[in-house]
Structure 1
Amino acid sequence: MNYSVVFDAADNFVPARFPFLIGFAVAILGACVIGAILLRQESQRRALTGDRPRVRVVGLLVALLVVVMASAIVVALTALSSPSQEETARAIESSPVVEGLIEHFHPMPSGGHDTERFDVAGVHFEYSHWNMSQGFNQDVTAGGPIREGLYVRIHYVSIDRPSFATGLSYGTIVRLEIRRESHTFESDEVERSGLAISLRTN
């Protein structure tokens, strides 16, 4: 059978460390801004009163430093433990596979507040373009390709927790392949055969 790959999580790979790096950058920026404001206010107060630095201000600065250091540790641990794109591709190849016709297709309503879902050979799948996931989540409201009766082959990862919409356990799609229509190839073969016969008779 001929299939077209319409989604592969390895091609849409976003390293898990990226959100932490963004959070770390925001934490540093926030700490620098807050620290600069506190230091400016404290220096102005000392210039007017001549008093020593207040314990509260020093404590806040120390707390900001601790937050930045803790964020750095989390980012470092995440960077070391998060899988690479090659490891993700290998995991997809070894993941469970199911193929067959899409059944019980429930498209995402135009108003949202639901999931798009279907079954293939007894395996249940749910997703939504509102979900932050590296799995397939392109529902029909976002131009998704899934339709009732479509023949597909799916690599997936089982999710043990129940869906909020149905209460059922479901699979996250990490590779979606749709079978190409065979009549297209058959018509091409017929057309080529007819052309060959025409050339021979001429």
Structure 2
Amino acid sequence: MATQHLDLEEQEQLAQLKHFWNRWGNLITWALIAVLGAFAAWNGWNFWQQRQAVQAAALYDQMEAATQAGDVERTTRVLADMQASYPGAEYTAQAALLAAKTLVEKEKTAEAKAALAWVAEKAADSGLQATARLRLASLLYADKAYDEALQQLSASFAPPFAPLAADRRGDVLLAQGKKDLAIAEYGKAYQGLSQERAEYRRLVGIKLTALGIDPEAGAAKSGEAK
């Protein structure tokens, strides 16, 4: 009797399990497939990202060799390959900055501007973007394209780059004859530069002094206002 009772319990449990599976089995199966699929996709994405980084790094090595040799044709070719194949890789943005430096040295200013503009628009790293915008603004300033330079400098800059952008804006505004606005920007730069950048801060101070402004007095007033 005990065995028969046990068999009845097992049969009842099996019946309940079948009922449960008939009702929820498909949902559970699809949920498992979704979870496993997402896990596989995540692993695949990571593998793809790592592979992209390795391949971009190899091309970056080629860029370094090309720029060290001063080979403009190879520099532009490697950069075009990286931009086409690995536009989101940090190595590509770094390569564009490196290429721009060499292109400026070889008096290929238009190509250098294009490389810097690409970094300013496409780079994922805000620091690389800021560096590109500052360098591009300097080239535009040298070409007396003042409005374009100010456009690059009107972007949002992270705190470490904000004083540098203010200094550049001061240069551009002064070249446009807007002395008071230039002084205000130089003041922001001077006050924003830390003692770790003492030499740069001193240069900005010289600009203010040349415009009849005591930079230390301005900094003191700013400190009192805070």
**TM-score (normalised: structure 2):** 0.26
Higher helix share: 2
Higher strand share: 1
Q: Give the greater-gyration-radius structure (CA).
A: 2
**TM-score (normalised: structure 1):** 0.28
